[in-house]
């Protein structure tokens, strides 16, 4: 649409989360309990999968805890410290290990299905909500932020459900079960093992703080580098035109060097963690071996218990580290869910009202309308305008005068603050938006086509249009020959929303699409701004046929294109200052005359 809507400031909302590094800066939710309750509603719908996943986690964890006990028994049998059948014990060990593997496989299957189904619920609800949001929301929120909620935030939830939650449940059970068995086998050796475990936790937290710091710096620089690349690629013609390739390369290399240094610091700190953990783990094994040997010599424990303790010590410290890492992931997922719920809780467009009372002749009337995008700053003030049925009315004025706002209100993209808009004898605010927009077609200055065939794009405004109606609309909009020259004609696929054709061709297709709709009211917002002069003249001649007997509103900056309008309305600062025919307004030598002469002299308004 026009400039008024585009001037609205975007809210400073948090963008998508970084998932490139597990120690990246974590985003925290504002209301964790409220968000968790909302998330819980999605889990309730998948009770069977949750029960299956928990059963697999429980079975695998218990089997994993029991396996070292069998190992201890086998060692003691070999050492002659315990009676029993070695073959049977080894067979039980193999069966237990196989059970652990099967349970982990089942856990992966259940968690993957649970993740995908929950994310499917989120995405369907979120997309359904987005397409029902009022235009005001998309005008006042960053499009990138909305996309981030649909992709990054939902993906965070998916990753957490499929990976973090099973690991969290398994980790807690493993810690509790392992600790209980270690204390039962030899509480003295268990307490000695805890010393290295606490050391592991302390070192992990210390190193993680450095990694988070350097990771945040790296992600900032990565964003800068991506922005630099995007800017240079998008403006490459300008870079080449001014012979600035070397400076562009220097700028990129400077950012790249900083990113490399930050990346090295991050990777070094991350890389140190593994060896440090192994070192602490080896110290723990030495402590267990030394003190375990001492206890075994004095008859407190057997050799098999020592072997079991070595496994349990490793098994105990591993989930502690995992839970520490999962915590940040859980926080990011909860924050992402909160951002998704913020969109879901937005007020949708009002779909209720009366059905459009279809009549052959349609008039439009604005009565004492006042409206502002920002409260207290009206764009239209005491606006009164009558558009007779079947007439072509042009809105003229400088940028920001309120021309496109008139269209925004008529289409009910926004609702007025005061006054009323009438279509025949119906108040626009009482007509359903769906019913209203089915009878109004609009061609915008910024052409929007979809990645589909030319035919499907022309049918977008009227799914029931026949082949004859489509071709007739193409001929009337002077794009029939252009379509026939395309590789597959009407079946040519428009890639990248029409990037494989010129801007002027996209504009012609948009005009043809409006003709296919066969509306009662036709709105043209600088519809010929991207076509050449000859094509513009041809389209204007075609428009005269289409507009004949049809109520039409034309917004134009090039005043030469509206000379034949039945009525020209001149706006200035949200008020009508003049109206009349082209010749009448020139004769008055006021605002319209100044605008026309300024353009005639070769200047822009």
Q: 């710096």: which residue's tokens?
A: 217
pLDDT tens-place string over residues 542-579: 677 667 778 888 887 777 778 888 888 888 888 888 88
Q: Which of 35-44, 95-104, 325-334, 394-403 has the lowest mean pLDDT?
A: 325-334
Mean pLDDT of 321-341: 74
pLDDT over 70 at 535, yes or no: no
Question: What's the pLDDT score for residue 201?
Answer: 73
Q: 């964003």: which residue's tokens?
A: 223
Q: Count Cβ atoms within 10 A of the Cβ of residue 545 and give its class: 0-12 exposed, 13-18 middle, 19 or more buried.
A: exposed
pLDDT over 50 at 388, yes or no: yes
Fill in the DSSP letter of residue 404.
Answer: H
Rounded distance between C-alpha atoms, residue 226 and residue 57, angstroms: 41
Q: Which of 152-166, 323-337, 428-442, 503-517 has the lowest mean pLDDT?
A: 323-337
pLDDT over 70 at 13, yes or no: no
pLDDT tens-place string over residues 515-531: 888 888 888 887 766 66
**8 Å CB contact between 473 and 516:** yes
Rounded distance between C-alpha atoms, residue 193 and residue 288, angstroms: 7
Fill in the DSSP letter of residue 243.
Answer: T
By residue count, the chain amounts to 605
Of the two residues 447 and 381, the one the predictor is more confident about is 381
Rounded distance between C-alpha atoms, residue 480 and residue 483, angstroms: 5
Alpha-carbon distance values, 140 to 16, 177, 339, 403 (Å): 18, 53, 16, 19
User: Looking at the DSSP assignment, which residues form a beta bridge with residue 354?
Assistant: 431
Rounded distance between C-alpha atoms, residue 27 and residue 156, angstroms: 11
23, 27, 33, 37: CA torsion to nearest 10: -90
Which of these, 212, 325, 319, lies nearest to 269 by C-alpha position? Answer: 212
Fill in the DSSP letter of residue 580.
Answer: E
**8 Å CB contact between 388 and 583:** no
**424 dihedral zone (left: phi>0; alpha: psi -120 to 50; beta):** left
Q: How far is CA 25 from the centre of its chain?
A: 20
Average per-residue pLDDT in the chain? 79
| Continuous segment of H or E residues that includes residue 237 | helix 236-241
Radius of gyration of the chain (CA): 35
Cα separation of the two ends of the chain: 18
Rounded distance between C-alpha atoms, residue 264 and residue 383, angstroms: 63
Residue by residue, DSSP assigns 544-586 as HHHHTTSEEEEE-SSGGGGTT-SEEEEEETTEEEEEE-HHHHH
Question: What's the pLDDT score for residue 186?
Answer: 78
Rounded distance between C-alpha atoms, residue 494 and residue 449, angstroms: 8
**161 dihedral zone (left: phi>0; alpha: psi -120 to 50; beta):** alpha
- Token digits of residue 170: 């398994």
Alpha-carbon distance values, 482 to 27, 144, 216, 342, 487 (Å): 52, 34, 52, 46, 11
Which of these, 183, 230, 196, lies nearest to 320 by C-alpha position? Answer: 196
Strands 364-371 and 521-525 turn out to be unpaired
Residue 300 three-state SS = coil
Which of 3-7, 274-278, 486-490 has the highest average model confidence (pLDDT)? 486-490
pLDDT above 90 covers what percent of the chain?
1
Of the two residues 492 and 200, the one the predictor is more confident about is 492
Question: What's the pLDDT score for residue 29?
Answer: 54
Give residue 20's pLDDT band: very low, low, confident or very high (50, 70, 90): very low
Question: What's the pLDDT score for residue 605?
Answer: 41
Question: What's the pLDDT score for residue 223?
Answer: 67
Question: What's the pLDDT score for residue 5?
Answer: 37
Q: Which of 116-120, 338-342, 344-348, 546-550 has the lowest mean pLDDT?
A: 546-550
Which of these, 595, 568, 599, 572, lies nearest to 584 by C-alpha position? Answer: 568
| Continuous segment of H or E residues that includes residue 381 | strand 380-387
Angle at 290 between CA 284 and CA 293, to 5 degrees: 130
Rounded distance between C-alpha atoms, residue 524 and residue 512, angstroms: 12
Backbone angles phi, psi at 520, to 5 degrees: -80, -35
pLDDT tens-place string over residues 454-480: 888 888 878 888 888 888 888 887 788
pLDDT over 80 at 19, yes or no: no
Angle at 252 between CA 250 and CA 255, to 5 degrees: 110
Mean pLDDT of 500-528: 81
Alpha-carbon distance values, 381 to 4, 402, 486, 574 (Å): 14, 10, 48, 6
Q: How many CB atoms lie within 10 A of CB 249?
A: 12
Q: How many CB atoms lie within 10 A of CB 159?
A: 17
Which of these, 251, 262, 261, lies nearest to 218 by C-alpha position? Answer: 262
Residue by residue, DSSP assigns 218-232 as HHHHHHHHHHHHHHH
b/e per residue, 398-422, with b = 16+ CB within 10 A?
Answer: bebbbbbbbbbbbbbbbebeebebe
Question: What's the pLDDT score for residue 382?
Answer: 87
- Token digits of residue 304: 């098999």
- Token digits of residue 329: 């992931």
pLDDT tens-place string over residues 131-185: 888 777 777 776 667 777 777 778 777 777 777 778 888 888 888 888 888 888 7
Angle at 569 between CA 565 and CA 573, to 5 degrees: 150
**8 Å CB contact between 362 and 386:** no
Give residue 98's pLDDT band: very low, low, confident or very high (50, 70, 90): very high
**8 Å CB contact between 111 and 157:** no
Rounded distance between C-alpha atoms, residue 454 and residue 492, angstroms: 6
Angle at 578 between CA 575 and CA 580, to 5 degrees: 135
Give residue 102's pLDDT band: very low, low, confident or very high (50, 70, 90): very high
User: Looking at the DSSP assignment, which residues form a beta bridge with residue 555?
Assistant: 395, 525
Instruction: Please tell me the pTM assigned to this model.
Output: 0.66
pLDDT over 90 at 66, yes or no: no
Give residue 24's pLDDT band: very low, low, confident or very high (50, 70, 90): very low
């Amino acid at each position: 649409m026009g400039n008024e809507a585009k001037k609205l400031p975007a809210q400073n909302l948090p963008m998508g989360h970084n998932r490139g590094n597990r120690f990246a800066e974590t985003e925290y939710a504002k209301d964790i309990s409220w968000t968790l309750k909302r998330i819980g509603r999605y889990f309730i719908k998948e009770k069977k999968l949750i029960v299956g996943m928990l059963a697999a986690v429980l079975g695998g964890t218990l089997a994993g805890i029991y396996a070292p006990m069998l190992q201890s028994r086998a060692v003691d049998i070999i050492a002659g410290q315990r009676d029993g059948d070695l073959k049977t014990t080894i067979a039980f060990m193999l069966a237990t290990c196989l059970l652990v593997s099967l349970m982990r496989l089942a856990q992966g299957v259940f968690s993957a299905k649970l993740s995908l189904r929950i994310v499917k619920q989120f995405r369907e609800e979120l997309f359904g909500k987005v397409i029902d949001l009022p235009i005001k929301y998309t005008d006042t929120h960053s499009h990138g932020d909305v996309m981030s909620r649909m992709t990054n935030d939902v993906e965070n939830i998916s990753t957490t459900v499929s990976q973090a939650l099973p690991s969290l449940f398994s980790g807690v059970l493993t810690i509790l079960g392992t600790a209980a068995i270690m204390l039962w086998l030899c509480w003295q050796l268990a307490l000695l093992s805890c010393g290295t475990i606490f050391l592991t936790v302390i070192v992990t937290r210390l190193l993680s703080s450095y990694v988070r710091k350097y990771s945040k710096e790296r992600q900032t620089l990565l964003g800068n580098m991506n922005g630099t690349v995007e800017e240079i690629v998008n403006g490459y013609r300008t870079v080449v035109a001014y012979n600035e390739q070397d400076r562009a390369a220097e700028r990129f290399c400077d950012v790249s060097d900083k990113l490399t240094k930050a990346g090295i610091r991050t990777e070094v700190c991350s890389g140190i963690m593994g060896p440090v953990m192994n070192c602490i783990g080896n110290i723990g094994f030495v402590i267990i071996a030394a003190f375990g040997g001492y206890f075994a010599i004095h008859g407190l424990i057997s050799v098999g218990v020592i072997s079991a303790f070595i496994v349990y010590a490793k098994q105990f410290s591993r989930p502690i580290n995992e839970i520490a890492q999962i915590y940040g992931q859980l926080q990011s997922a909860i924050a992402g869910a909160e951002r998704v719920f913020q969109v879901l809780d937005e007020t949708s467009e009002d779909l209720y009202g009366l059905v459009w009372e279809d009549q052959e002749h349609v008039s439009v009337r604005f009565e004492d309308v006042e409206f502002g995008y920002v409260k207290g700053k009206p764009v239209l003030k005491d606006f009164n305008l009558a558009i007779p049925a079947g007439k072509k009315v042009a809105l003229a004025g400088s940028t920001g005068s309120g021309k496109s706002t008139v269209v925004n209100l008529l289409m009910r993209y926004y609702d007025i603050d005061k006054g009323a808009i009438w279509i025949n004898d119906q108040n626009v605010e009482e007509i359903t938006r769906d019913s209203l927009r089915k009878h109004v077609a609009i061609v915008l200055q910024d052409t929007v086509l979809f990645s589909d065939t030319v035919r499907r794009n022309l049918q977008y405004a009227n799914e029931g249009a026949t082949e004859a109606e489509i071709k007739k609309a193409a001929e009337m909009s002077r794009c029939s020959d252009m379509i026939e020259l395309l590789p597959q004609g009407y079946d040519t696929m428009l890639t990248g929303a029409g990037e494989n054709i010129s801007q002027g061709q996209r504009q012609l297709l948009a005009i043809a699409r409006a003709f296919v709709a066969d509306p009662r009211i036709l709105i043209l917002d600088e519809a010929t701004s991207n076509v050449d002069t000859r094509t513009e003249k041809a389209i204007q001649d075609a428009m005269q046929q289409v507009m004949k007997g049809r109520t039409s509103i034309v917004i134009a900056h090039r005043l030469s294109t509206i000379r034949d309008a039945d009525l020209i309305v001149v706006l200035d600062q949200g008020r009508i200052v003049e109206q009349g025919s082209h010749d009448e307004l020139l004769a008055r030598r006021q605002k319209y005359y100044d605008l026309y002469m300024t353009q005639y002299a070769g200047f822009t308004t």
